[in-house]
Structure 1
Amino acid sequence: MKVLVPVKRVVDYNVKVRVKSDQSGVDIANVKMSMNPFDEIAVEEATRLKENGVATEVIALSCGVSQSQETLRTAMAIGADRGILVETTAELQPLAVAKLIKAVAEKEQPQLIILGKQAIDDDSNQTGQMVAALLGWPQATFASKIEIADGVANVTREVDGGLETLALTLPAVVTTDLRLNEPRYVTLPNIMKAKKKPLQTIKPEELGVDVAPRLKTLKVAEPPARGAGVKVPDVATLVDKLKNEAKVI
Structure 2
Amino acid sequence: MSLRVLVACKRVVDFAVKPRVNATQTAVDTKTVKHSMNPFDEIAVEEAVKLKEAKQAASIVAVSCGPAKCQEVLRTALAMGADSAVHVECEDDGNGLLQPLAVAKLLQKTAEKEKADLIILGKQAIDDDASQTGQMLAGLLKWPQATFASKVEILESGKKVQVTREIDGGMETVSAPLPAVITADLRLNEPRYATLPNIMKAKKKPLSKLTPADLGVDIKPRIETLKVAEPPVRQGGRIVESVDELVTLLKKDGVV
Shift of 1:235: 2.6
Residues 244, 138 of structure 1: alpha-carbon distance in 2 compared, 3 angstrom cutoff:
farther
The equivalent of 1:216 in structure 2 is 224
The equivalent of 1:50 in structure 2 is 52
Normalised by the size of structure 1, how large is the TM-score? 0.97
**For 1:22-68, what per-residue CA distance to the aligned partner results, in whole angstroms no more than 9, with x for missing partners?**
10111112211100000000000000000000000010000000110
Between the aligned partners of 2:52 and 2:121, the Cα distance in structure 1 is: 16
The equivalent of 1:197 in structure 2 is 205
Q: Name which of structure 1's ranges 108-117 and 238-247 shifts more when overlaid on structure 2.
A: 238-247
- Report SS of the residue matched to 2:63: strand
Matched, 1:141 2:143: no
* Residue from 233, 245, 249 that aligns with 2:241: 233
Between the aligned partners of 1:243 and 1:182, the Cα distance in structure 2 is: 48
Between the aligned partners of 1:111 and 1:237, the Cα distance in structure 2 is: 63
Shift of 1:237: 2.6
Aligned positions of 1:54-203 closer than 5 A:
54-90=56-92, 91-150=97-156, 151-203=159-211
- Report SS of the residue matched to 1:67: helix
Shift of 1:241: 3.4
Matching residue's letter, 1:49: L
Between the aligned partners of 1:223 and 1:88, the Cα distance in structure 2 is: 30
**For 1:89-128, what per-residue CA distance to the aligned partner results, in whole angstroms no more than 9, with x for missing partners?**
0511000000000001111121110000000001110000
Q: When the two structures are aligned, how many residues end up with a matched partner?
A: 248
Between the aligned partners of 2:117 and 2:228, the Cα distance in structure 1 is: 39
Between the aligned partners of 2:100 and 2:248, the Cα distance in structure 1 is: 46
Between the aligned partners of 2:250 and 2:150, the Cα distance in structure 1 is: 38
* Residue from 201, 207, 211 that aligns with 2:215: 207
Residues 184, 203 of structure 1: alpha-carbon distance in 2 compared, 3 angstrom cutoff:
same
Matching residue's letter, 2:183: T
Between the aligned partners of 2:181 and 2:248, the Cα distance in structure 1 is: 51
Matching residue's letter, 1:197: K
List alignment gaps of at least 5 residues for structure 2: none
Matching residue's letter, 2:129: D
- Report SS of the residue matched to 1:46: helix
Normalised by the size of structure 2, how large is the TM-score? 0.94
Between the aligned partners of 1:165 and 1:217, the Cα distance in structure 2 is: 38
Q: Name which of structure 1's ranges 24-33 and 200-209 shifts more when overlaid on structure 2.
A: 24-33
Matching residue's letter, 2:244: A
Root-mean-square deviation over aligned CA pairs: 1.1
The equivalent of 2:7 in structure 1 is 5
Structure 1 segments, 4+ long, off by >2 Å, are 235-246
List alignment gaps of at least 5 residues for structure 1: none
Q: Sequence identity of aligned pairs in percent? A: 62
Between the aligned partners of 2:247 and 2:174, the Cα distance in structure 1 is: 45
Shift of 1:152: 1.1
